[in-house]
């Protein structure tokens, strides 16, 4: 029996008495509304304007700011006024560090309060849409942010365990207090909780799920990190600015710097910018295999969203965690070609309908078709979506391609060598004009494809190289060469692949302070001659271990193999696959090597016979 069968069906049974199927006669003309289901989804029968708004402070198990008291985490609640002894409702929970800076969502929403300290404005649309359908919505200020005590720790234990404490309180296992210090119990809920959030927030949902906390029935992580090492590092290279965790913690914390100075110092020391190595500090922030949160402990079902062109939370944050989930975890995924995006902005109506069915099924026990639908929705391009039974595609088979001395990319090994200099370059410079000699890269292309093929999964690359210095960053690009209309502007400052358009959509009920209406967006496209499909980079000193550096002996050959970023991408007939071998990738942020800026000009000599790229391909006819 699956996890859902063990727990979800029990919840469904407990809700049966409260759920009214549309079409059944009312008990009386004056009866209070009950949860109503029609067409496999709950209906908006409760008043959003009349909903109960309240707040509590839940005691965390940790004292992250070292003041001698366990942190109290602020929890803002909105729930149907009918909820209580007669009607117990499930919870949708949004834990965020961003309610102060910069705000949450594409429109950077903030909280607003009344004279009693209760919210009149809950950011995002979840409250407007789901409270009228019989859900409670819980908005949690992450420890050290907004009205919660403590210090933010860049995904560390206090961030995660503060959220876990809220789930525990909703299930009667933790203590919460009102403003006068009196204990408060969540007597109005079934305890079944679903966490949702984007970016850092999605990482918190992944982290809390990895504690195995009972009562967390489902999570919906949208572009959420599963390992904070991979947020700031890529195989030993620094892929963003230095001291990233400390910078992020200070950015979201409105308290004076001295309050959390000791925490920031520990974060700076632990992150070890000097080497980029993986260590005990990063292990504690690893939700895949770490000591605080571990994928093998996940019992909640999962509806995950990943942007395969995300330059912030890159695709391996999803793929590595997804592969480590227990096999009996119920799951679905949306795999897109956007950047760092919440699908509410990209495919709004389909996403809202999917989320509605998902929460109804997983939290309410409503019978609908959400689990009979294919497991994965995959975007192949602008307005091009397919579904498949799993991700990656089950029919994908590994094909190995090898660079040839004449610049081709084929199946058989080729004798010969090539060389280039490790310099700091953009991907456009690396991949552009592949037929022109460039001292800073090597480029190899297949012949034009007779039929379309699709990469679905994680490519890997193996290089046989010699260096003329003890260190270098090694980079590789998989490129689609061929004129096409593609998603454009996936960088964080360019709209993540979307552009705003005229009009707005109202999603749920509104009040004067809390509108459910949001501007519209559409795919931002460009017609271009090539697209970088996947990328990979490694500090050559970390070729045997991410936990220690081993300088290379100049002139000695080394075989270095590593994973590239995952992808699900179609190469159309007539296009050509390109393999570009290069050095430091400027598009991944502020790369560094052993504490120094790179692009220092190390000469990399490649033995073609020992070099290859392995691709998980779904081939055409």
Residue entry with tokens 């949860």: 35
Cα(587)–Cα(615) distance, rounded to whole angstroms?
23
* CB of 293 closer than 8 Å to CB of 287: yes
At residue 209, the 3 state secondary structure works out as helix
Cα(253)–Cα(257) distance, rounded to whole angstroms?
8
Q: Dihedral of the CA atoms 284, 232, 347, 525 (nearest 10)?
A: -170
Contacts of 225 (CB under 8 A, 6+ apart): 155, 199, 200, 202, 203, 206, 231, 287, 313, 317
Q: Which helix (H) or strand (E) holds 208?
A: helix 200-209
Residue entry with tokens 């069968």: 5
Residues paired with residue 605 on neighbouring β-strands, in sequence order: 419, 466
Residue 480: how many other CB atoms lie within 10 Å: 24
Residues paired with residue 53 on neighbouring β-strands, in sequence order: 78
Angle in degrees, CA 565, 326, 454, rounded to 5: 35
Q: Which helix (H) or strand (E) holds 57?
A: strand 52-59
* CB of 135 closer than 8 Å to CB of 77: no
Cα(132)–Cα(43) distance, rounded to whole angstroms?
8
Cα(277)–Cα(439) distance, rounded to whole angstroms?
29
Residue entry with tokens 């994680």: 458
* Helix extents (H) in 213-342: 229-232, 244-252, 261-271, 280-284, 316-324
Handedness of CA 410, 412, 416, 420 (dihedral sign): positive
Burial zone of 111 (CB within 10 Å; 0-12 exposed, 13-18 middle, 19+ buried): buried
Catalytic residues: 199, 310, 340
Residues paired with residue 384 on neighbouring β-strands, in sequence order: 381
């Amino acid at each position: 029996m699956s996890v859902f069968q063990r727990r979800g069906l029990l919840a469904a049974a407990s809700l049966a008495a409260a759920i009214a199927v549309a079409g059944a006669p009312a008990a009386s003309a004056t009866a209070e509304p009950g949860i109503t289901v029609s067409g496999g989804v709950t209906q908006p029968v409760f008043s959003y304007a009349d909903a109960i708004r309240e707040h509590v402070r839940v005691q965390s198990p940790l004292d992250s700011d070292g003041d001698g008291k366990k942190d109290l985490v602020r929890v803002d609640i909105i729930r149907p006024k009918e909820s209580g002894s007669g009607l117990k409702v499930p919870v949708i929970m949004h834990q965020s560090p961003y309610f102060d800076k910069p705000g949450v969502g594409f429109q950077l929403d903030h909280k607003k309060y009344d004279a009693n300290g209760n919210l009149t404005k809950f950011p995002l649309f979840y409250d407007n849409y789901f409270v009228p359908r019989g859900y409670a919505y819980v908005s949690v200020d992450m420890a050290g942010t907004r009205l919660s005590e403590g210090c933010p720790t860049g995904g560390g234990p206090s961030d995660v365990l503060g959220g876990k404490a809220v789930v525990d309180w909703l299930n009667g296992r933790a203590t919460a207090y009102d403003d006068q210090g009196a204990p408060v119990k969540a007597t109005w809920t079934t305890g079944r909780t679903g966490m949702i959030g984007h970016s850092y927030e999605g990482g918190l949902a992944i982290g809390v799920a990895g504690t195995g906390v009972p009562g967390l029935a489902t999570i919906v992580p949208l572009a959420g990190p599963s390992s904070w090492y991979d947020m700031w590092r890529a195989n030993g290279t620094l892929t963003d600015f230095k001291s990233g965790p400390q910078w992020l913690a200070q950015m979201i914390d409105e308290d004076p710097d001295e309050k959390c100075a000791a925490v920031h110092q520990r974060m700076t020391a632990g992150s070890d910018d000097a080497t980029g190595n993986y260590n005990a500090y990063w292990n504690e922030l690893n939700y895949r295999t770490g000591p605080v949160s571990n994928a093998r402990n996940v019992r909640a079902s999962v509806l995950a969203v990943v942007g395969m062109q995300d330059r912030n939370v890159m695709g391996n944050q999803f793929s590595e965690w997804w592969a480590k989930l227990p096999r009996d975890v119920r799951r679905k995924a949306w795999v897109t070609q956007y950047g760092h995006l919440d699908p509410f902005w990209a495919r709004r109506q389909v996403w809202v309908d999917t989320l509605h069915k998902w929460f109804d099924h997983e939290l309410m026990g409503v019978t609908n078709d959400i689990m009979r639908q294919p497991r994965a929705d995959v975007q192949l391009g602008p307005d091009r979506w397919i579904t498949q039974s799993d991700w990656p595609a089950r029919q994908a088979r590994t094909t190995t391609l090898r660079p040839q001395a004449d610049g081709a990319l084929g199946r058989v090994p080729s004798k010969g060598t090539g060389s280039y200099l490790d310099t700091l370059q953009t991907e456009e410079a690396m991949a552009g004009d592949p037929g022109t000699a460039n001292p800073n890269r090597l480029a190899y292309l297949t012949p034009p494809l007779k039929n379309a093929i699709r990469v679905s999964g994680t490519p890997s690359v193996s290089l046989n190289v010699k260096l003329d210095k003890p260190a270098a960053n090694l980079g590789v690009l998989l490129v689609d060469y061929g004129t096409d209309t593609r998603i454009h502007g996936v960088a964080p400052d360019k709209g993540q692949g979307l552009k705003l358009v005229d009009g707005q959509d109202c999603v749920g009920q509104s009040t004067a302070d809390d509108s459910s209406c949001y501007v519209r967006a559409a795919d931002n496209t460009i017609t271009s001659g090539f697209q970088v499909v996947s990328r990979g980079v490694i500090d050559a000193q970390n070729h045997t271990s991410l936990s220690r550096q081993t300088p290379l002996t100049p002139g000695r050959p080394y075989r270095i193999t590593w994973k590239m970023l995952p992808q699900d991408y179609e190469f159309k007939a007539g296009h050509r696959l390109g393999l570009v071998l290069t050095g430091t990738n400027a598009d991944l942020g502020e790369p560094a090597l052993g504490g120094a800026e790179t692009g220092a000009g190390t000469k990399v000599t490649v033995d073609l016979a020992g070099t290859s790229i392995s691709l998980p391909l779904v081939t055409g006819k």
